[in-house]
Amino acid sequence: MGDAMLDRQCLSREHDELIALTTALVAQVTRAAPDLAGLSTVRWRFNRVLLMHLAKEDKLLYPQLTRSPSPTTARLAELFAAEVCGLAADYAAYMQRWPVERIEGEWPAFAKDTRRILDALGKRIAREENELYPCIDAVSTAGTAPARPSAPTPAPHRL
């Protein structure tokens, strides 16, 4: 298919890391009072892994899957690419809403908002693993099949 396709195991490992960091974040927000140092460390790591993962999907995965010879795969990739923009915007707004200085004074609200965004991201990860990532294997094995004409690349989400 031209450009190197990210392998599914790499993307799934990043999902596993995000799930582990989600568990660590949930443990942080279930505390009666914030441990700002511990929370900041986990949030920073989660943010770093998530942004790297989203960039890989934007630059490599979605463009390649949208050029798949399978119309079903191409449409699914277009749908996922469009949907992630809203989730990415929601995540960016969450990060802006909650600077460290605000968290301590509004701990219950921060904890609730954190659970909400982590739940949305967790559902997205599950959908990618179950619905989208199997298409990577199908496209990889179809390697010599003629590609569909290039579809417009979905606009990258900005965080």
Secondary structure (DSSP) of 88-105: HHHHHHHHHH--HHHHGG
| Structure tokens given for 90 | 């929601």
pLDDT band at 153 (very low <50, low <70, confident <90, very high): very low
As a whole number, mean pLDDT of residues 140-156 equals 46
Give me the long-range contacts of 87-93 (CB less than 8 A, separation at least 24).
87/120, 87/121, 87/124, 88/54, 88/157, 88/158, 88/159, 89/157, 89/158, 90/117, 90/120, 91/50, 91/117, 91/121, 91/159, 92/158, 92/159
pTM of the predicted model over 0.95: no
pLDDT of residue 137: 80
Across 58-67, 114-123, 147-156, which has the greatest mean pLDDT?
A: 114-123
pLDDT band at 146 (very low <50, low <70, confident <90, very high): very low
pLDDT of residue 19: 98
Where on the phi/psi map is residue 154: left (φ > 0), alpha (ψ -120 to 50), or beta? beta
CB distance 61 to 88 below 8 Å = no
